[in-house]
Structure 1
Amino acid sequence: MRCNWCEKDEAKSIVCTVYWELPDGLRAIEILDTPAIHCLSCGMEYQTEDIIEELEDHLMLIDTEKIGKSITYDQLMSLPKLLKRNYFRFN
């Protein structure tokens, strides 16, 4: 897999812990076991644009008050949505 940062073919899929600010900006949460990319060449760990968009959209559509300080990615993504989609994304 090609790394988005150094463009070498030494990247691989992993899961990691990320810290994400909630849409209201009042706090951040720890999200465990989040899909990510790790490059063996440059050492960078990052989420793909698809995962970032999926996380941000889901956090806009759920009741974030029900989330504690820490949650797994799968638990987060299984929380029920209050709306069918993010109506603020115009693409």
Structure 2
Amino acid sequence: MKECMWCNDHSAKEITKTGYWELHDGTRALQIKEIPALYCESCSMEYHEDEIVEEIEDQLLLIDTKKLNQVLTFKELMAQERFLKKNYFKSY
């Protein structure tokens, strides 16, 4: 169990959820299945951790999104070949 970022209780467990992402160019949105997430048994909140959201955002910036299907899994998205190794515009 992990600490919930909403209620700070240590009853958050790992789950997967479906999410919807609009591409950065605004041309379309994707349905991404099986995204790692947390569910807190104490406050019933379900959420994606910031690190996962950043991973998805970076990946969408670094790949050819025209090749993506409308619906894909998190693993399929993260397996796409990148133009660059990392987001060089982001301060680490």
Bin of the TM-score, shorter chain as denominator length? over 0.9
TM superposition score normalised by structure 1: 0.92
Q: Note if 1:6 corresponds to 2:4.
A: no
Residue deviations 1:42-84 (CA, integer Å, cap 9, x gap): 2111111211111111110000111121100111100100112
| SS class of match (2:43) | coil
- For residue 26 of structure 1, report the CA deviation from its aligned partner: 2.2
Structure 1: give runs of 5+ residues left out of the alignment. Answer: none
**Considering only aligned residues, what root-mean-square deviation do their CA atoms show, in Å?**
1.0
Q: Note if 1:59 corresponds to 2:60.
A: yes
Amino acid at match of 1:28: A
2:79 and 2:12 map into 1 onto residues whose CA distance is 28
User: Match of 1:24?
Assistant: 25
TM superposition score normalised by structure 2: 0.91
